[in-house]
Amino acid sequence: MKIKDVLQPFTAWKNLVKEPITIGEPHKREGAPRYRGFHQNSMDKCIGCGTCEDICQNAAIDMVPVEGQETTHSDSGLRPKIDYGRCCWCALCVDICTTGSLTMSNEFKWVEVDPDAFRFIPGADKKPWDDIEAGYDRADHYELHNFEREDMVELAPEVRDHSFVEIVQGYSKTQAQKEADRCVECGICVATCPAHMGIPDYIRAIREDDIELGLKILYETNPLPEVCGRICTHNCEAVCSMKYRGDAISIRWLKRYIADQVALSDYKGILNQNTIENNGKKVAVIGSGPAGLSAAYYLALLGYGVKIFEAFPESGGMMRYGIPEYRLPYDQIDKDVDYILSLGVEIEYNTRVGKDITLETLQKEYDAIFAGTGLHIGRKLPEKFLPGSDHEHVFAAADLLREVTMGQEIHVPKKVAVIGGGNVAMDISRTIARLQKVKYGKVQLTTTALETEEIMPADREEIVESREEGIVIMPGWGPVKVETKEGKITGLHLRECISVFDETGRFGPKFNEDNTTFVEADMIVESIGQGMDISYTESLGDKLEMGERGKVKTDGYYQSSLPWLFIGGDIVQGPDVIHGIANGHLAAKGIDKFIRGEKS
Amino acid sequence: MKATLERLKGFFGASDEVIQRDDLVFLTVDKENLVSALTYLKNEAGFKHLVMMSVADWLEEGKFQFTYHVNSHELKKDIALRVFINRDNEDMYTIHTLWPTAMVYERENREMFGINFPGCPRVEENFVLEGWEEMPPNRRDFDTKEYSDKTFFPRDGRTTNDPREYMKEKLYSEEEK
């Protein structure tokens, strides 16, 4: 061994006194401005839709409950927890985030002794990078979502304003699939839908062009898809996770698309309902509105002999006698109803229970009764609240709508004023406007609402379309007095309404008496709500317990205090079609339990 | 540069010219012309440097796309040749004889896309995926998520919730009571 070989290693010792050339920790080297670093999540913006979890190719994200995040109808209350042992920082979760709450900072250094600390909930577990502005930023042209709703073809105002032909034309297959493709299938909408329809499932069926499967999914929770596909209040769309950065999915029109594609004659085969075994029990249903029809459908499937007693000459209740034909054509109601009747459900028209047949008779002849008689009595302000309202040309909207459906000629003068800001007010306004257009060639109709435009209960599209048809809408005005001259109505005095609800949220309008106006009119229509007529229960007396706000008391199955009597629809909930369908369905389950002795 | 491009188009049948930048042109050639075109570029036109070679999977079109990116240091220009082959015939000529470094690219692409490069040395050896038994993971029909779910989840301490089911539990599980 040479002496050099022995001494050589010690030459490295000279480096001990040298300045190191490496950078010590902590160093201050920032990530690039658009670096895909550690995640941030805004707890308030995030709705817990779980789309980040779905897209993550590494299965790095779990959706977990977080303290302080409540589950509501538009927020699951869950938040993403990311496993940094799996994450590859591809940023797909940020790109797909429906609300834009999930982002990435440009921070990239995190030292921890406990390996489990790298599983964390961004936003909830406070981190030093939570407020860093710099970080991943999607390039402008790069977007995974399509935020724009597929346009619906609708009849132009000049084509529709003098006819009752359906306005909305429905989606084509290409359109429906394109619209369905926008859905992220998060399922946030399901809780909000009163019937809890399998919305993401039937949208997927459209995307995969499996219309038969789509129809089956619809009928699991809703036997009136043609109706709901047209006029449902679509609360689902109000919570759709796509609404935050773009348009909500057109859930209602997609439902209609499915039902429109299938001929009535094919329903039985598709739904596999060719034979239903009769169980020998009988149920009477009062009223063929959405609740009654829904109860009848699900009872019939369970094998019950169902007979509906309908006061009017045709089926559908408010769907036919309340909603105008341009929104819901009668043949579409018929399609849904005919299918239910084809399962053996009988219907006796022009038979008003309480008058043509008594509840007692039904109780004796049937094992249970479901009553869904709806709200058919149009409310009117009494003379003391609205002087002049006793005049024969002051009408209630519900009465006029019913008469139009029945083919009766209603009073249509040149100038009309409508009181009310809800959808029924829009329905009667647009109905009368059409009749005016036919009779006089022009529309002269003013609709006044207590509410300001932002909080008017009518659907936005109803307000827009009403205006397109020549109706003047005056939001924020309350009626004072109906002016008459020589026995004829000349107009309606109005005063400014400054607030509709009081501090507790109850109805208690306040007015500015100094700001008044006058609308010329030969006829006034009041659309201020509808009331129920349950006089057929009078003979039950106190045995039928009443609940809050003048409604009949029912349990979760819509069973009243009389075990054989189930009550649903607008008289207990809503008012709208989908609540009726939902509680008709639940009542059917309840009736089945009651008759089989599983429920007292 | 102009003469080189003309030659590529005329003699080697290159087409679909895309002038990406002043100093970068993309051209598409047939598989059969690739090796001779690259030989020409390297030995005659001065494009001596292989910048990189890459593969893309066009699942819907049923094609694999190869891109051979070469550079001329003198001209300060880049040319990239694209080749499309049918996805069901995953054989490609090796170019390791032109650039020995191509061997590494080819070995990687064999592993990630399952493409054969007959004649390339050591091409059968593992590149990064030791013990891999699934389909080549860069193929678009490889379901990364399914693989992740199967391989990495559930892991101790990890649980997740479906928003739809969770909301049902929280908001309306009591409805039928």
Taking only the tens place, the pLDDT of each residue in A247-285 is 999 999 999 999 999 999 999 999 999 999 999 999 999
Residues of A in contact with B163 (CB under 8 A): 48-50, 63, 76, 78, 186-188
Q: A397 is written with which tokens?
A: 């909207």
pLDDT at A436: 96
Of A546, A528, A525, A527, which Cα lies nearest the Cα of A537? A546
- ipTM above 0.90 for this complex: no
CB contact under 8 A, A190 and B176: no
Looking at the partner chain, which of A59, A60, A63 has a beta carbon nearest the beta carbon of B161?
A: A63
Q: What is the pLDDT of residues A462-509, one digit of tens each?
A: 999 999 999 999 999 999 999 999 999 999 999 999 999 888 888 889
Residues of B in contact with A56 (CB under 8 A): 145, 148
Q: A99 is written with which tokens?
A: 């609300």
pLDDT at A306: 97
CA A103, A45, A457, A415 dihedral sign is negative
Residues of B in contact with A119 (CB under 8 A): 157-158
Parts of chain A with a pLDDT under 70: 25-27
Bridge pairing between strands A119-120 and A78-83? antiparallel
Task: List the helix and strand counts (H, then E) for chain A.
Answer: 20, 20
Looking at the partner chain, which of A50, A61, A586 has a beta carbon nearest the beta carbon of B163?
A: A50
Looking at the partner chain, which of A60, A78, A191 has a beta carbon nearest the beta carbon of B171?
A: A191
CB contact under 8 A, A556 and B175: yes
Q: Go through the domains of chain B in sequence order and give each one's CATH number.
A: 2-172 (3.30.460.80)
Of A76, A128, A81, which Cα lies nearest the Cα of A99? A76
Q: Among A53, A64, A76, A193, pick the best mutation site for testing chain B contact (most B Cβ within 10 A).
A: A76
pLDDT at A20: 79
CB contact under 8 A, A187 and B162: yes
CB contact under 8 A, B167 and A83: no
Of A292, A232, A321, which Cα lies nearest the Cα of A530? A321
Q: Among B134, B147, B150, B160, pick the best mutation site for testing chain A contact (most A Cβ within 10 A).
A: B160
- pLDDT at residue B177 above 80? no
Residues 56-75 of A with CB under 8 A from B: 56-65, 71, 73
Q: Go through the domains of chain A in sequence order and give each one's CATH number.
A: 24-144 (3.30.70.3270), 164-270 (1.10.1060.10), 278-376+550-595 (3.50.50.60), 379-530 (3.50.50.60)
pLDDT at A382: 92
Residues 64-123 of A with CB under 8 A from B: 64-65, 71, 73, 76-78, 83, 86, 116, 119
Residues of B in contact with A76 (CB under 8 A): 161, 163, 166-167
Q: Which residue of A has its CA nearest to B172?
A: A191
Q: Is A12 helix (H, G, I), strand (E, B) or coil?
A: helix
Q: pLDDT tier at B110 (50, 70, 90 boundaries)?
A: very high
Q: A237 is written with which tokens?
A: 């769309």
